[in-house]
Structure 1
């Protein structure tokens, strides 16, 4: 029987999935990142405590500002990625602070404006080249903004070194677990694929199957990104202790293909089959002591569908000796915005920063750094939809100002203030992972305390809310007047690239070997997921009057179903000859 002849059962039944131990699942989505919250609290409180104990209050506050920026870039990704991102954050922000500080000390207002404009041009030019470059550009601009807006006593080199030390503290706290759980993040990502595969098998043959398959694909995309540095060909791979993880990931890729075929076939499965991913996880990753290693009986007979036979073949392959074959999967190269887009963004960012600086000079001279600083935070179209980001910035600032105003009235002692900083630092660390408004709330409250410790005792609660609204409005007006269709162009380009990848998979899969087929399939699903994300961002921007957006979602959905169909047919073709 060919896959095209398979039909859904008249009355699909929902099968149950065996329970997974919590440690096998990794961190449950939506749970509080307690470790990150603890790092945020310690990273912000420790410099202040040291400053109070030694009398070096100003360097300790600058170090706390560095720690604040470091907490904003802390993450749950692999340790090597965290180290790279935090290292660039520290270096770029310290260089920016040095440049801004020297411009301010020159006593020439034009020098400050030129430095801000130059930093904005550099930040805009590099920001659309990738996540690390974007983070570096933003913090270069933030460093210049703070350095040129806050007079800091002491030698010129002291503040940049203190800022760098604060970021380095976050780096040490974030990367320290590498010493005792080196590949924990990679292991959790791979195990999440097996969990989501089990969930997809459990609902095979029901209306929930397609969404479950999509969740499995997203988990596999994430695992692929996390495991990418370890996936060099066997002869070139470093001896870093990831052999079992690499094999588990390769099997997860094969499992994803088999599960996709089962979902496409549309048949409900017995419990023995829905437990296959759980069994495979226990066999492939025995280092997790709670991962089950119970034996799964032969799941299907010779008359099973191609998808179920593929599951059976995978179980036999895993239970037997490793075959030594490497898939050599590589992540697809994502299209970056072209030179014209980078130039336009750099000019717009520089224009907004200079306009905010001039407005601050008129309204707040001296110390009018809040307006250009807000522009640097808000105008990040590569970080997501611009309008929601600006609105969340305003809401977070309003709530943060209200919160710190209420708390400051109760926190009367110096050490109580340090405790307040620790609490809001932990809140910011949680917000970084869950919601931008929450992260802004924590950052706003901490900044108010730190500036007070630097000697800025002005009552600026209402002023900072107005400044945030002005800066956000400035960014939105400039962007949507000059470049209103930027998100549309990104969505269209990503959708076209994803559809093209799906067609390449369709055209090449019938003649491709297993390695090439898996590579084409992974590239197609990666680009389809990226297209969905980009289209979702475009939908959240203001609608252009008289110009309804194209129905990109339908094209993406059709391409996903095409990939599912090609996968089902490829699995059937691979399974049929030997039967």
Structure 2
């Protein structure tokens, strides 16, 4: 980093990353419980079973409930079209996997079963590191094969895949139904979050919390950028709807607001209420009626010239304050030259990493299958299924995921054992499934162990309804521990530095993006400058996530990881300083 990057006061540089994490966590508002998602999870799992009980088609209804279970695990709060794509691919891939596994099992050849599992693992490993939807599709293809090869289902061969697909489609319909009456709710909430976090950052200006508040605003802006990306693409021949145009305009204003707020935070001076309330008042003007907690009444923010003539006591005496005043005063002016801000290309792992992961996943699945055959004989699907769930390095630290899987399985087994001892009657069992389905939907958004607990309990009930009445509580806990140990052994013996290498590459790319912004921004126009700034902050956030991932994995004995957090923090300060200098230069040109 250049010496200029360290021009901030000492208090903003000496805080350790651990202290920053603790203070950030303490400063975040409580995350509300996803009640709508919990309700969808309960309905999606209970409805197929109720239909099966009423019609007598118990087996297809249980298979549909398994599909709904997997659909709930991929339900989200992102834009509706993203949910539809992800859930659609989840349904198609899991149904194809179930069909392949079922046909292999019906052939009666153990070689066909093992070959089907190996082929599915190779495909899943090959495509899983190419993106979120590809990863989800690969995992559910493998899960479908493990269920198809491990659970014999009576009836025609085509019925189970269609039933599984129907269960996922049920979740898709429940998840996407709100699109009919609140079509752009997710996008609107993401954009409004930027304005709220910008107000918090302005309120924190001049305090020790300023840098953390600016980071939260940047993360909110990154999220809004991702959510709005489809609407920011070059416009087609069809004119976008008025609501979309309104959201795009509000987002572009949020981008300019983020630049101005960054400059004000860099100035490190407390701000009066007339300025800290500007972001929410901007949001109210751009998205009328959407701000639930508007800013307190404050005098209108004038332009710099008006401030000098009519309100000298407002003390607009810095480039950042002047830029904020100008932004507020000019918000009603028509602007058809909004830039097309594209998301930076995501750096996916290279071919060598994808091949290594595919080979390791395939080996783990094959060993798990052979181990299950040796220990349990038929219906030994739990071991390879656990491998498919646990060995997902693109979903977070493998060690943490394995640990949470084991904890969630133990708690889920204990919970369903206690409930089963007290519950009796078909409808009571369906109610239990609904409760655990709701818990799983909450866990998907909050904690993997909670999601695993709900999934484990539901699977026990569904398998029992399929006619497998064996006492498997202790066996499933042992199987989960064995599968997790197998994954950890294979991953950390053969590929121990994968997360560290990715963190190093991401950090280097982020620092390079920050330096590119420093070198180009002062000499370029606003469109390219905003694109460079957005790209730099996106890559810095990705680098922080990659570093956190690497810190969550066990380090090799005798080796300590580099202090990447310092390099990322220095690059963030460099971007902040360049932004402040650009804003100051713009204010000088206005004069």
TM > 0.5 fold call: yes
Alignment of 1:78-97 (within 5 A): 78-97=79-98
Aligned in 2, Cα 1:197/1:349: closer, same or farther, shift over 3 Å? Answer: same
Aligned in 2, Cα 1:211/1:269: closer, same or farther, shift over 3 Å? Answer: same
Alignment of 1:160-309 (within 5 A): 160-234=161-235, 238-240=239-241, 241-288=243-290, 290=292, 292=294, 296-298=299-301, 301-302=307-308, 304-309=317-322
Contact 2:202 2:264 (C-alpha < 8 Å) held by counterparts: yes
Deviation at residue 469 of structure 1 after TM alignment? 0.1
Deviations 1:162-200 (A, max 9, x none): 000000000000000000000000000000000000000
Deviation at residue 334 of structure 1 after TM alignment? 1.3
CA RMSD of superposed structures (Å): 1.9
Deviation at residue 29 of structure 1 after TM alignment? 4.8
Contact 2:275 2:301 (C-alpha < 8 Å) held by counterparts: no
Q: How many residues align?
A: 560
Contact 2:368 2:483 (C-alpha < 8 Å) held by counterparts: yes
Contact 1:233 1:326 (C-alpha < 8 Å) held by counterparts: no
Q: With structure 2 as the length reference, what TM-score do the two structures score?
A: 0.92
What secondary structure is seen at the aligned counterpart in 2 of 1:298? coil
CA distance in 1: counterparts of 2:532 and 2:175, whole angstroms: 35
What secondary structure is seen at the aligned counterpart in 2 of 1:187? helix
**Worse-superposed segment, 542-551 or 98-107:** 542-551
Deviation at residue 232 of structure 1 after TM alignment? 2.2
Aligned in 2, Cα 1:238/1:493: closer, same or farther, shift over 3 Å? Answer: farther
Matched, 1:538 2:550: yes
Indicate the residue corresponding to 1:506 in structure 2.
518
Deviations 1:302-329 (A, max 9, x none): 55211111100110111x3222221210
Deviations 1:357-400 (A, max 9, x none): 00000000110000000000000000000101000000000000
CA distance in 2: counterparts of 1:405 and 1:578, whole angstroms: 72
Alignment of 1:544-559 (within 5 A): 544-559=556-571
Indicate the residue corresponding to 1:31 in structure 2.
32
CA distance in 1: counterparts of 2:293 and 2:230, whole angstroms: 25
Contact 2:52 2:61 (C-alpha < 8 Å) held by counterparts: yes
Contact 2:280 2:291 (C-alpha < 8 Å) held by counterparts: no
Indicate the residue corresponding to 1:347 in structure 2.
359
Indicate the residue corresponding to 2:508 in structure 1.
496
Contact 1:145 1:369 (C-alpha < 8 Å) held by counterparts: yes
Gaps of 5+ in 2: 12-27, 309-315
CA distance in 2: counterparts of 1:493 and 1:7, whole angstroms: 27
Matched, 1:325 2:337: yes
Alignment of 1:73-112 (within 5 A): 73-112=74-113
Tell me which of 325, 343, 349 is aligned to 1:312.
Answer: 325
CA distance in 2: counterparts of 1:436 and 1:565, whole angstroms: 38
CA distance in 1: counterparts of 2:450 and 2:135, whole angstroms: 21
Alignment of 1:115-130 (within 5 A): 115-130=116-131
Aligned in 2, Cα 1:394/1:185: closer, same or farther, shift over 3 Å? Answer: same
CA distance in 2: counterparts of 1:64 and 1:102, whole angstroms: 21
Deviations 1:224-279 (A, max 9, x none): 00000001235657524301000000000000000000011111100110000010
CA distance in 2: counterparts of 1:8 and 1:538, whole angstroms: 30
Indicate the residue corresponding to 1:385 in structure 2.
397
CA distance in 1: counterparts of 2:291 and 2:418, whole angstroms: 48
CA distance in 2: counterparts of 1:467 and 1:8, whole angstroms: 55
Deviations 1:199-242 (A, max 9, x none): 00001011110000000000000000000000123565752430
CA distance in 2: counterparts of 1:296 and 1:133, whole angstroms: 52
Contact 1:9 1:267 (C-alpha < 8 Å) held by counterparts: no
CA distance in 1: counterparts of 2:77 and 2:268, whole angstroms: 36
Gaps of 5+ in 1: 11-26
What secondary structure is seen at the aligned counterpart in 1 of 2:522? coil
CA distance in 2: counterparts of 1:391 and 1:233, whole angstroms: 45
**Worse-superposed segment, 539-548 or 96-105:** 539-548
Aligned in 2, Cα 1:234/1:104: closer, same or farther, shift over 3 Å? Answer: closer
Alignment of 1:65-80 (within 5 A): 65-80=66-81
Deviations 1:98-122 (A, max 9, x none): 0000000000000000000000000
Indicate the residue corresponding to 1:13 in structure 2.
none
Deviation at residue 9 of structure 1 after TM alignment? 13
Indicate the residue corresponding to 1:526 in structure 2.
538
Deviation at residue 91 of structure 1 after TM alignment? 0.0
CA distance in 2: counterparts of 1:114 and 1:235, whole angstroms: 47
CA distance in 1: counterparts of 2:360 and 2:79, whole angstroms: 34
Deviation at residue 295 of structure 1 after TM alignment? 7.1
CA distance in 1: counterparts of 2:198 and 2:272, whole angstroms: 15
Deviation at residue 8 of structure 1 after TM alignment? 7.4
Deviations 1:63-91 (A, max 9, x none): 00000000000000000000000000000
Indicate the residue corresponding to 1:18 in structure 2.
none
CA distance in 2: counterparts of 1:477 and 1:91, whole angstroms: 32
Deviation at residue 298 of structure 1 after TM alignment? 2.1
Aligned in 2, Cα 1:394/1:56: closer, same or farther, shift over 3 Å? Answer: same
